Amino acid sequence: MTSTTDFQNETVNTPDDSFLQGVKDCIPTLLGYISIGLAFGVVGSASGLSVLEIALLTILIYAGSAQFIFCALLLTNSPASAIIVTIFVVNLRHLLMSLTLAPHFTRYSMLRNVGFGTLLTDETFGVAVTKQMQTGKLYGKWMDGLNITAYSFWIVSCVTGAYLGQWVANPEKWGLDFALIAMFVALLVLQLSSVGKSKIMHYLMLIGYMFVIMYGLSYIVPSHVAVLLSTMIVATIGVVTDK
Amino acid sequence: MTTTATMVWLIIGCALVTWLPRIIPFMFVRSVKLPEVVLKWLSFIPICILSALVIENLLDTENGKIVTLNWPVFITFVPTLMIALVTKSLSITVVAGVIIMAAVRFFM
């Protein structure tokens, strides 16, 4: 099962490197994927997309926010060029996430790296950086387990939502939209608790800056642009103020 | 189960622009050694982006001219943060957060 290059770089029997461990580490994120996926399927069919189109969007785009915005723009009869440009900007934050994770996977082949990148999402990014901070290393098989589990659940949830269509009660009423936010809160806390005591004040200060800059930017740009810009600005402040 | 050629091309176009930003760093970081300052910058990205994704949901940018807190989300956020701090558990935080959000929506 293990190729020679993997064998040299990995301790085979540590639990952190297995595909199965990746699957297990994905489980806490699944409620988020299932609820948002079902909601997307419902919204998609309400926007006039066929089940086939919803499945194609889900399989090929694989990004919750981008898929929702696709539906919204379609409903307003936006031109194809506007839809593509908007989707590009909405998902540009993945460039930063991918850039953050990539240095931990340079020992794997180009093809496997393309695989890690292709299935990167906000959630798998969050789980992976937290794992990296806690254990110091990331393994390809673990990443595949995490990614493939998330991807499968996302596809099944979106398509199920598409079939259920109007019969699903509003998922917001059941608080399911908060699953994602709660997950980001928990990942943030896990990140903070694994940085050393000496750095924690610095990180808390950066989160303070994030709030102020996000708030200010919210007046002038759409929120997905605010996420991107404020992250880049505050990471720069982080470098400058780091001792 | 129908679609049109235009729709398929549109979806393919969107797929390309979401795929490229995801894979390009994975492809080029293999051959380029990133300078120390860039690596330092990248080390701050997780905390920034995770807080951005939370803050994005805490702000209500749609109603009125002034950006305010999205109160139902904020009221749910506070106890959810406490639970995350105490349990340090992803699953417990997610399940508790959803239950609190449902309760808040029910009573507000």
Contacts of A203 in chain B (CB under 8 A): 47
Residue spans of beta strands (DSSP E) within chain A: none
- On the question of pLDDT at A67 being above 80, the answer is yes
Distance, in angstroms, between B74 CA and closest chain A CA? Answer: 11
Spatial distance between the Cα atoms of A7 and A26, rounded to a whole number of angstroms: 24
Confidence of residue A107 (pLDDT cuts 50, 70, 90): very high
Lowest mean pLDDT of A98-112, A149-163, B55-69, name the range: B55-69
Spatial distance between the Cα atoms of A62 and A154, rounded to a whole number of angstroms: 8
Once rounded to an integer, what is the mean pLDDT over residues A93-114?
A: 94
Distance, in angstroms, between A61 CA and closest chain B CA? Answer: 5
Nearest neighbour of B26 by CB, restricted to A96, A98, A186? A98
Q: Is B59 helix (H, G, I), strand (E, B) or coil?
A: strand
Q: Which residue is closest to A192 within chain B, CA to CA?
A: B47
**A120 touches B: beta carbon within 8 Å:** yes
Distance, in angstroms, between A52 CA and closest chain B CA? Answer: 5
- On the question of pLDDT at A169 being above 70, the answer is no
pLDDT for B54 equals 92
Confidence of residue A12 (pLDDT cuts 50, 70, 90): very low
Interface of A with B in 135-154 (CB under 8 A): none
- The model carries a pTM of 0.79
Amino acid identity of A111?
Answer: L
Q: Could you read off the pLDDT of A46-61 as tens digits, one per residue?
A: 788 899 999 999 999 9
- CB contact under 8 Å between A126 and B42, yes or no, is no
Interface of B with A in 34-73 (CB under 8 A): 34, 37, 39-57, 59, 61, 67, 73
Mean pLDDT of chain A, nearest integer: 87
Nearest neighbour of B14 by CB, restricted to A32, A61, A110? A61
Q: Which two tokens stand for residue B103?
A: 């309760």
Contacts of B17 in chain A (CB under 8 A): 84-85, 87-88, 91
| CB of A105 closer than 8 Å to CB of A113 | yes
Nearest neighbour of A110 by CB, restricted to B27, B43, B101? B27
Q: Which two tokens stand for residue A64?
A: 């919750």
Express as a percent the part of chain B with pLDDT over 70: 99
ipTM: 0.87
The DSSP element (H or E) to which A139 belongs, if any, is none
Sign of CA dihedral A70, A75, A76, A77: positive
pLDDT for A2 equals 40
Question: Is the model more confident about B12 or about A2?
Answer: B12
